[in-house]
Amino acid sequence: MPIIIEIDPESSKRAGAMIPNAELRLIRLEKASLLTPAHSPGAGQLETEVSFKPSETALAGNDLMLAVDFEFRVVLPTEASEQQNLLSISCTFAAEYDLRPGFSPDREQIEAFHKGNVVLNCWPYFREFVQSSAVRMDYPPPPVPLLRLHFTRPVEQVSAAAKHAPGPTPKPRAHPGRKRPT
């Protein structure tokens, strides 16, 4: 099941102003923390939890650095409402962009770009880091979900689209000279 970031039309417009004016230079691991218990617990139904949030922002001239904090956990639910933490990986990836000379993004443009595009750019690095780190800690590589951006439409557009939706799909007609399979 993918993780979905919903992008509203205004944020999409703001981030869209950044896209042709920012070129990704590099993505680097800024910090990481890895925790696992000293002994493996018994078998059980394991669950994974993934969270992320845009963090640090730095703009200096034409250099833009945007960081994203990620957390991945594997837990074993217990009979009580508590969970036993089996594996915890926290990390921060920083994405560095070169801005087109003369382009000066405003705070809202940077924020919208940070919440969607930057997280999407860093996600494959996060997935690989989690999987390779888990293997090094003697765990099988855990499945880290894919990430998708979903662009929402204003309510007015959704209502208008529903009004103009086509009716039922017509039955396909047989090609001349061919019989339709029955």
CATH no. for residue 77?
Answer: 3.10.420.10
Q: Is 150 contained in some domain?
A: no
Identify the pLDDT of residue 162. Answer: 42
Percent pLDDT > 90 in the chain is: 63
Cα separation, 164 vs 132, in Å, equals 49
The upper half-sphere exposure of residue 28, i.e. CA atoms within 13 Å in the direction of its Cβ, equals 6
**pLDDT (tens digit, 9 = 90+) per residue, 89-137?**
999 999 999 999 999 999 999 999 999 999 999 999 999 999 999 999 8
160 backbone dihedrals φ, ψ, rounded to 5°: -65, -40
Indicate the number of domains in the chain: 1
| Rg (alpha carbons) of the chain, rounded to whole number | 23
Q: Is 162 contained in some domain?
A: no
Instruction: Give the structural domain span for 111.
Output: 3-145
Q: Is 154 contained in some domain?
A: no
3-state helix, strand, coil in the chain (%, to 5): 30, 40, 35
Q: Is 111 exposed, middle or buried, given 0-12, 13-18 or 19+ CB atoms closer than 10 A?
A: middle
Cα separation, 66 vs 95, in Å, equals 5
Q: Is 8 contained in some domain?
A: yes
Q: pTM of the predicted model, to two decimals?
A: 0.79
In the block, residue with structure tokens 């979900």: 145
Q: Is 28 contained in some domain?
A: yes
Q: Is 171 contained in some domain?
A: no
Q: Is 133 contained in some domain?
A: yes
Q: Is 181 contained in some domain?
A: no
DSSP label at 148? Answer: E
Q: Whose CA is closest to 122, among 168, 91, 86?
A: 91
